[in-house]
Amino acid sequence: MSTTPAPPAATQGREALVACLHAALDALEREDDTAWRRNVDELIQWRTQPLVQGLVRLARELETTLGTGGGNGSLHEACLRLEHVVKVSEEASHHTLDLIQDCRILLGTLGKGGDDAPTLAAIRSRLSEMTAAQGYQDLTGQIIRRVVDLVRTVHEGLGEYAGDDARPLQLDPRGHGPSVQGLDGPAATQDDANQLLSSLGL
Amino acid sequence: MDKNIRILIVDDFSTMRRIVKNLLNDLGFFNTVEADDGTSALVELRKGPFDLVITDWNMPGMPGIDLLKAIRADAALSKVPVLMVTAEAKREQIIEAAQAGVNGYVIKPFTAATLNDKLTKVFERLGAVA
C-alpha cells in the first residue's frame, strides 16, 4: 500500500504538534503547571478546530437547505413545529374526551319515558365529531415527517465530521419512551410484565 | 372498599391524567389530585395523606422511578401503594421498579380493562390491609 506524501501545510502542522507534545511533556516533568496547561490547551484547540469549522459549515448548509425564503428555517423552527404537534394532539384528545363525557351523560337520559330520538341524534352527531377529531393525526404526521427529514439531514451532515471514535449522542436518561418497532429492542407486553412481576413475588 | 380514598395521578401529559381520572371515575373513585412530575407529586404527597399514587415513568423533572424511590425512602410516605402506568417496557426497567417497591405495572398503550384489573388488585390489597 502506497502512502501519499502529506502536503506542506499538513507537514508543518504535524511538526508544530510534535513540538507542542514535547513541550507539554517537558513541562509535566519539570512540574511547570502553567506551561503544561498552555500546551495542552493548544493541543485541544488543534484537535477541535476542524470539528468546530465543520459544524459551522454544517449549520450554514442546514440554514440553506431548510431556508423558507426568508432564511428562517432552522432547528429552532423544527422544535416549534414539534411543540405545535404536542399542542394539537393534546387539544384533539381533550376534545374527544369531552365528547365521550357528553355521550355518557346523554346515555343516562335514555329510556326515561320521553322521546329518545333527539338524544340518539345528539349521540350520533358526537360520534361523528369524535371521528373528525382524529383528523389531527394527518396534520401532526406531516409535521413529524418534515422533522424526521431534518434530523436525517443533520445526522448525515454530522457523520461527515465525526471520527470513528465518535460516540452516539446521549439523550436524557430519564426513560426510553414508547418502543418503536424496527428501532428499539422488543418491548415487554403486559403479559410479560405480569409474569415477570409474579416471578419476583408481586 | 372505601370509594372515597384519595388518589394522586402523576403524568406530564394532561390527556393521560384525564384518561386515568375518567377510568377511576368509572370505577366510582372521584377523590383525585393531579401532578405533572415527581417533584410536584412529592409536594402534593407531603401536603396531605394519599391512599394511592398512579404514576408515569418518563417525565421531565423527576421521573416516576425516582418518585417511587423517594416515596419508599420517606418514613411518612413509604407505605403508600404505587401503580406505574408507563410506556417504559424494558425487562430491566420492570425489574428496577419491582425492586424499588412498585405495587403494579401497566404498560402503555393499555386497555381500560387492564387498568381496571390492576387497580382492582391494588384496591383489594388495600382493602385487605385496612
Q: At residue A166, does pLDDT exceed 70?
A: no
Distances (CA, A) of B49 to A59, A123, A150, B25: 52, 40, 48, 20
pLDDT of residue A1: 44
B114 φ/ψ angles, rounded to the nearest 5 degrees: -65, -45
To test the contact with chain A by mutation, choose from B91, B111, B116 the residue with the greatest count of A C-beta atoms within 10 A, namely: B91
pLDDT of residue A164: 54
How much of chain A, in percent, has pLDDT values that exceed 70?
Answer: 78
Q: Does A100 touch chain B (CB under 8 A)?
A: yes
Q: Does A121 touch chain B (CB under 8 A)?
A: no
pLDDT band at A72 (very low <50, low <70, confident <90, very high): very low
Q: Rounded to whole angstroms, how far apart are CA atoms B4 and B84?
A: 21
Q: Rounded to whole angstroms, how far apart are CA atoms A10 and A126?
A: 72
Q: Which amino acid is at A69?
A: G
> Which chain B residues touch A185 with a CB distance below 8 Å?
90
- The nearest alpha carbon in chain A to B65 belongs to A174
pLDDT band at A71 (very low <50, low <70, confident <90, very high): very low
Burial group, residue A168, by CB count within 10 angstroms (0-12, 13-18, 19+): exposed
Q: Poorest-confidence range of A16-30, A124-138, B61-75, B79-93?
A: A124-138
> Which chain A residues touch B110 with a CB distance below 8 Å?
190
Q: Rounded to whole angstroms, how far apart are CA atoms A59 and A53?
A: 10
Residue predicted with more confidence, B35 or A113: B35
Q: pTM of the entire structure?
A: 0.66
Contact: A190, B87; criterion CB under 8 Å:
no
pLDDT of residue A168: 54
pLDDT of residue A52: 76
Q: Does A101 touch chain B (CB under 8 A)?
A: yes
Which of A100, A176, A190 minimises the CB distance to B90? A176
Q: Which of these, B16, B100, B6, lies nearest to B58 by C-alpha position?
A: B16
**What is the ipTM for the molecules in this complex?**
0.76
> Which chain B residues touch A179 with a CB distance below 8 Å?
87, 89-90
Q: What is the DSSP string of B93-129?
A: HHHHHHHHT-SEEEESS--HHHHHHHHHHHHHHHHHH
pLDDT of residue B73: 97
Q: Does A127 touch chain B (CB under 8 A)?
A: no
Average pLDDT rounded to a whole number, residues A175-201: 81
pLDDT of residue A62: 67
Q: Rounded to whole angstroms, how far apart are CA atoms B11 and B57?
A: 8
pLDDT band at A2 (very low <50, low <70, confident <90, very high): very low
Name the residue ranges covered by the structural domains of chain B.
Answer: 7-129
- Match 418503536 to its residue by C-alpha cell: A180
pLDDT band at A135 (very low <50, low <70, confident <90, very high): confident
To test the contact with chain B by mutation, choose from A89, A190, A191 the residue with the greatest count of B C-beta atoms within 10 A, namely: A190
Average pLDDT of chain A to the nearest whole number: 79
Residue predicted with more confidence, B47 or A143: B47
> Which chain A residues touch B63 with a CB distance below 8 Å?
174-175
Q: Does B1 touch chain A (CB under 8 A)?
A: no
Q: At residue A171, does pLDDT exceed 60?
A: no
For the record, the C-alpha cell of B87 comes out as 410506556
Q: At residue A100, does pLDDT exceed 90?
A: yes
Q: Does B18 touch chain A (CB under 8 A)?
A: yes
Q: Rounded to whole angstroms, how far apart are CA atoms B83 and B36?
A: 16
Span B43-99, pLDDT tens digits: 999 998 999 999 999 888 999 999 999 999 999 999 999 999 998 888 999 999 999
Q: Does B88 touch chain A (CB under 8 A)?
A: yes
Does domain B7-129 fall under CATH 2.60.40.10? My reply is no
Q: Which of these, B49, B46, B91, B48, lies nearest to B67 by C-alpha position?
A: B46
Contact: B19, A177; criterion CB under 8 Å:
no
Question: Contact, A42 vs A152, CB < 8 A?
Answer: no
8-state DSSP, A189: P
End-to-end Cα spacing for chain A: 63
Residue predicted with more confidence, A146 or A178: A146
Name the residue ranges covered by the structural domains of chain A.
Answer: 11-66, 74-162
Q: Is the peptide bond before B63 cis (omega within 30 degrees of 0)?
A: no
Average pLDDT rounded to a whole number, residues A51-69: 67
SS3 A199: helix
8-state DSSP, A184: B
Q: Which of these, A55, A173, A123, lies nearest to B93 by C-alpha position?
A: A173
Q: Count interface pairs A-B at CB distance under 8 A.
A: 73
Average pLDDT rounded to a whole number, residues A71-81: 69
pLDDT of residue A175: 74
Distances (CA, A) of A20 to A12, A27, A35, A39, B65: 12, 10, 10, 6, 49
Contact: B103, A90; criterion CB under 8 Å:
no
Contact: B19, A97; criterion CB under 8 Å:
yes
How much of chain B, in percent, has pLDDT values that exceed 90?
Answer: 58
pLDDT of residue A9: 60
Q: At residue A112, does pLDDT exceed 80?
A: yes
For the record, the C-alpha cell of A183 comes out as 428501532
Q: Write the Ramachandran bin of B31: left for phi over 0, alpha for psi from -120 to 50, otherwise beta.
A: beta
User: What's CA B91's distance to the chain center, in Å?
Assistant: 19
Q: Does A97 touch chain B (CB under 8 A)?
A: yes
Question: Contact, B32 vs B23, CB < 8 A?
Answer: no
